Amino acid sequence: MSRLYQEYNEVIVTKLQEEFGYKNRFQVPRLEKIVLNMGVGEALADSKHIKQASEELSWISGQKAVVTTARKSIAGFKLRAGNKIGAKVTLRGSRMYEFLDRLINIALPRVRDFRGFSTRACDGSGNYSFGIKEQIIFPEVATREADTIRGLDVTFVTTAKKDEECVFLLKMFNFPFAKA
């Protein structure tokens, strides 16, 4: 069992019940999944970029990345439907909590001039998304060779109904929010 999952069950659930007045333990918001997405626009010119990006995403997540394809053709970007343009990984269960632990305690402290994330990055249904500009903040990528600097998007999907519940849940996991 992951350290953060154990903390969620023992400490965070009771704090959320007190804060929002839930009567039942199953009403308490929880983290459902974490989605990592890496768009690789330069893959149109050279296909080795997509392979390298999916390898890096696999190193970061500990799970094999899925290569994503374009759904529509866009002439302005010289993009045809079916072209490989990115990679994604969906983490659930123990891998999700282990990734969250590594993200908060190892990777984010390595970001230059990091002041925390905004609490307003929720989508209105309790999901939180943010972007990372450099994938080399993860030690898994930094120790191996990275050909270029790529960014990635991270989305926390929760069962929270409101944004306040989502932000409070992430604060309980010690997620670094900016001081308002």
- How does pLDDT run across 96-120, given as a tens digit for each residue? 999 999 999 999 888 888 888 888 8
The answer to whether residue 57 is domain-embedded is yes
The answer to whether residue 91 is domain-embedded is yes
Give the model's pLDDT for residue 10.
92
Band (pLDDT 50/70/90 cuts) for residue 160 is very high
Counting residues of the chain whose pLDDT is more than 70, the rounded percentage is 94
C-alpha span between 154 and 159 (Å, rounded)? 17
The answer to whether residue 180 is domain-embedded is no
Give the model's pLDDT for residue 113.
84
Residue 125 in this model has a pLDDT that exceeds 90:
no
Give the model's pLDDT for residue 75.
80
Specify the number of domains making up the chain.
1
The answer to whether residue 107 is domain-embedded is yes
Rounded mean pLDDT, 22-29:
92
The answer to whether residue 24 is domain-embedded is yes
Give the model's pLDDT for residue 180.
65
Residue-number span of the structural domain to which 8 is assigned: 3-172
